Amino acid sequence: MTLQEKDAAYLWHPYTQHKTAATPIVISKAEAALVWDENGKEYIDAIASWWVNPFGHSNRFIADAIYKQLTSLEHVLFGGFTHKPAIDVAEKLLQMLPSNQQKVFFSDNGSTAVEVAIKASLQYFYNKGESRKTIIAFEDAFHGDTFAAMAASGISFYTLAFKGMFIDVVRIPVPVAGREEDSISTLKQVISEHSCAAFIFEPLVLGAAGMVMYEPEILDQLITICRENNVLTIADEVMTGFGKTGKTFACDYLSVSPDIFCLSKALTGGTIPMAITTFTQEIFDGFYSDDINKALFHGHTFTANPTGCAAALASFELLGSDEMQANIARIQNNHKAFLSRIGNHPRVKTSRTLGTILALEIKTESEEAYYGTLRNKLYDFFISNGIIMRPVGNIVYILPPYVITDSQLQTVYQTIEKALAEVY
Ligand SMILES: *Cc1c(COP(=O)(O)O)cnc(C)c1O
């Protein structure tokens, strides 16, 4: 049997309808911004493999750190024990985050980072004897696939089968240009009508919704309204974290700081699954008690895995290097130049960029007829041209590894222009 035949025999892929999906491509090697399939065909990874590896594939610096850790302390339970890699990650991360962030909680993936944030918010009020059970979230939000994260997510095709089984979530509009007042007034109304525990949001960029962007000034206002009403604020930076928006965190563009941060993608440079939720001292103190029942009863077997921590520490070092910061600035400038060239193209309906993220919404003659099929045609077009991109509906976006070269980036831009001319 070929690998593809064995895959079909044994595997169940994520987000995949196996009856209609194309046969998956077998990837055998990857380096920096390039990946190769089993036949030696080369692809540019224009989306950093689901936004996880900004420093490039098969990074030697991270690999060496992992090997060193694996051969000294690969894992130890985090209940009743601690270790230097976890302490170092916490210390370094808290220096990078806004100063109100004081406590670091480890888990395994973006969804669990969100799950921890939501559970801690609900229990924070429970511990105080206050009944606050509603979570506020954006329409079109994506926060992950575990139950609370799924409840907070607004993209309905992910969650349809589970309707009616969720914690209480109320939605407010994303404050994109023209909807700012609507978003603010809906938030005020929601807070007055429900007992809200927390507001969770993707700061400045909603990734899975198609890199939908909004301004920091409005998020400042939304957070301030929450603060005035004792509603906790949760920044889901799982996608935006670690340089993607041009600053270390999207929240670095804000003048007020959220109470909780969720981090995962890119935390270990795309090597080892790990996630972190960080909290203010005030929230931590809400669990600090002689009463065992007030503890946060949440944990995962691989919590603070030392190998993952070593990968995170190496990633922090790479992110902070002059070379990587120069790469981020370079991509940012290239994106701006490309947008000024392509923004007025007759087939481009809307376009936007922030940091290393760029998105174009392609005009379709009839939304109904073209929506699904155009997406698949674009995907196939990019793959056949040696570029890995995953359009969301008719939105094409780039979020490349920071180590992508200028000529690779130009190839991606040119292929997008070719797609605008040829794919209908
Ligand atoms: C990907 C993502 C998640 C979920 O992370 P997983 O590691 O896939 O569980 C949560 N929030 C945002 C904003 C994401 O982009």
Rg (C-alpha) for the chain, rounded Å, is 22
Domain 63-319 indexed as CATH 3.40.640.10: yes
Residue 217: count other Cβ atoms within 10 Å of its Cβ. 12
Sorted by where each begins, the domain ranges of the chain are: 3-58+322-422, 63-319
What is the homologous superfamily of the domain 3-58+322-422 according to CATH? Aspartate Aminotransferase, domain 1 (3.90.1150.10)
Beta-strand relationship, 387-388 and 395-398:
unpaired
Q: Which of 391, 412, 392 is nearest to 400 (CA)?
A: 412
Mutation pick for ligand 1 pocket among 13, 52, 111 (CB with most ligand atoms within 8 Å) = 111
Calpha distance 124→283 (Å, rounded):
7
Mutation pick for ligand 1 pocket among 13, 15, 47, 142 (CB with most ligand atoms within 8 Å) = 142
Is 110 annotated for ligand binding? yes
CB environment 145-183: b (16+ within 10 A), e (fewer)? bbbbbbbbbbbeeebeeeeeeebebbbbbbbbeebbeeb
pLDDT at 372 over 80: no
pLDDT at 157 over 90: no
The minimum-distance atom of ligand 1 relative to the CA of 110 is 5
- How close is the Cα of 188 to the center of ligand 1, in Å? 27
Q: Could you tell me if the CB of 203 is within 6 A of ligand 1?
A: no
pLDDT at 368 over 70: no
DSSP conformational letter for 199: E
pLDDT at 155: 80
Model confidence pLDDT, tens digit, residues 334-361: 999 999 999 999 999 999 999 999 999 9
pLDDT at 305: 98
Is 301 annotated for ligand binding? yes
Q: Is the dihedral of CA 21, 206, 413, 60 positive or negative?
A: negative
pLDDT at 24 over 60: yes
Q: Could you tell me if the CB of 114 is within 6 A of ligand 1?
A: yes
Phi-psi sector, 56: left (phi>0), alpha (psi -120 to 50), beta: left
pLDDT at 67: 98
pLDDT at 408: 98
- How close is the Cα of 148 to the center of ligand 1, in Å? 13
Greatest pairwise CA separation for the chain in angstroms? 67
User: Can 3-58+322-422 and 63-319 be said to share one CATH topology?
Assistant: no
The SS3 of residue 228 is helix
**Angstrom distances, CA of residue 207 to CA of 30, 61, 269, 352, 358:** 24, 28, 18, 13, 11
Q: Are residues 210 and 398 in contact, defined by beta-carbon separation less than 8 angstroms?
A: no
Beta-strand relationship, 387-388 and 103-107:
unpaired
Angle between helices 180-193 and 216-228 (to 10 degrees): 20
Model confidence pLDDT, tens digit, residues 246-269: 999 999 999 999 999 999 999 999
The minimum-distance atom of ligand 1 relative to the CA of 112 is 9
Query: Mean pLDDT for the chain?
Result: 96
Model confidence pLDDT, tens digit, residues 168-188: 999 999 999 999 999 999 999
Model confidence pLDDT, tens digit, residues 181-219: 999 999 999 999 999 999 999 999 999 999 999 999 999
Phi-psi sector, 261: left (phi>0), alpha (psi -120 to 50), beta: beta
| Structure tokens given for 18 | 């196996």
Amino acid in position 278: T
Question: What is the average per-residue pLDDT within 389-407?
Answer: 97
Q: Whose CA is nearest to atom 8 of ligand 1?
A: 110
DSSP conformational letter for 246: S
Amino acid in position 359: A
pLDDT at 109: 98
The SS3 of residue 406 is helix
Q: Could you tell me if the CB of 109 is within 6 A of ligand 1?
A: yes
- How close is the Cα of 26 to the center of ligand 1, in Å? 24
Q: Could you tell me if the CB of 241 is within 6 A of ligand 1?
A: no
Q: Which of 355, 350, 340 is nearest to 393 (CA)?
A: 350
Angle between helices 306-320 and 322-342 (to 10 degrees): 70
Is 390 annotated for ligand binding? yes
Calpha distance 216→204 (Å, rounded):
6
Contacts with 274 (C-beta within 8 Å, 6 or more apart), sequence order = 106, 107, 108, 109, 264, 267, 268, 305, 308, 309, 311, 312
Calpha distance 47→54 (Å, rounded):
9
Model confidence pLDDT, tens digit, residues 295-309: 999 999 999 999 999
Q: What is the dihedral of CA 120, 207, 240, 74, to 10 degrees?
A: 70
Q: Are residues 170 and 134 in contact, defined by beta-carbon separation less than 8 angstroms?
A: yes
pLDDT-based confidence at 366, cuts 50/70/90?
A: low
Residue 397: count other Cβ atoms within 10 Å of its Cβ. 21
Is 244 annotated for ligand binding? no
